[in-house]
Homo-oligomer: A and B are copies of this chain.
Amino acid sequence: MSDHISKQFDLELETVRTRVLQMGGLVEQQILSAIDALLSGDIERFDKVIVDDALVNALEVAIDEDCQHIIARRQPAASDLRMVISVIKTITDLERIGDEAQKIARMGKIIYTSERYQLPRFREVSKMAEVAVNMLRRALDAFARLDASAALELAEEDKGLDEDFTAELRQLMTFMMEDPRTISMSIDTLFIAKAIERIGDHSKNISEYVVYLVKGKDIRHTSIEEIKREIGLTAG
């Protein structure tokens, strides 16, 4: 980062960045726990994910306050200001990823505690979650290393995840049509798949804030081809 007259200011910015990565780590853990519990049917684990979402929320509020103090006291400009605004936006998406993990846990608990004709198969959903968690890790890594090029890869991976969701939806609809007794479990699985697909969207958002942070350009609402030009990659 740039040199500041005040070492204290450097330290404050670095602390905020570290806390964002901590929050990201916690959110990642929440997704992994929810999916693990989904595969094992571990009710206590679902409960822990549901309760621990409060930790994610508390971190968001705390980092948000840190950012506001920095803006008010340090009056950052240029890249420092972009860093603070990127953090404010990033933690909003991290908090919503946390919400999605909690939703998965809530849904899982309902599935395993109700009497069912059959338990849903979570193989596809668990594969989708691997992709989404990988996207989140790479978005956080791009934030840590100020790597703008990750945004492009994540935009392409997000398209893949959307396609996985559509494929899962088709499969679930086939199950339901073949045997209406699977409707209830299929709808529950569909909501879990939807939550995972949203985790991918939020991770993509985070990688886009990194481009803004590094390049000073807002690439949200921009096509993959335009992003390639923006970060200096020629198409193909």
**Count of chain copies:** 2
A55 CB → nearest B CB, Å = 11
Partner of A64, one of B72, B77, B218: B218
Cα-based distance from A177 to B177 in the complex (angstroms):
9
Q: Closest 9 CB pairs between A and B?
A: A57-B221, A75-B75, A177-B180, A176-B183, A61-B218, A180-B180, A72-B77, A177-B183, A72-B81
Q: Are B220 and A57 in contact (CB under 8 A)?
A: yes
Number of interface residues of A (CB under 8 A): 32
Contact A61 to B184, CB < 8 A, known contacts A68-B85, A81-B71, A85-B88: no
Q: Chain B residues near A21: list those with CB within 8 A.
A: none
A89 within 8 A of B: yes
A78 within 8 A of B: yes
A163 within 8 A of B: no
A187 within 8 A of B: yes
Q: Chain B residues near A220: list those with CB within 8 A.
A: 57, 60-61
Partner of A54, one of B60, B92, B177, B221: B221
Which residues in window 156-173 of A have CB below 8 A to B?
169, 173
A65 within 8 A of B: yes
Q: Chain B residues near A57: list those with CB within 8 A.
A: 220-221
Q: Chain B residues near A81: list those with CB within 8 A.
A: 68, 71-72
Which residues in window 32-84 of A have CB below 8 A to B?
54, 57-58, 60-61, 64-65, 68, 71-72, 75, 77-78, 81-82
Q: Chain B residues near A61: list those with CB within 8 A.
A: 218, 220-221
A53 CB → nearest B CB, Å = 9
Q: Are A173 and B169 in contact (CB under 8 A)?
A: no
Q: Chain B residues near A77: list those with CB within 8 A.
A: 72
Partner of A89, one of B92, B184, B218: B92
Q: Chain B residues near A78: list those with CB within 8 A.
A: 72
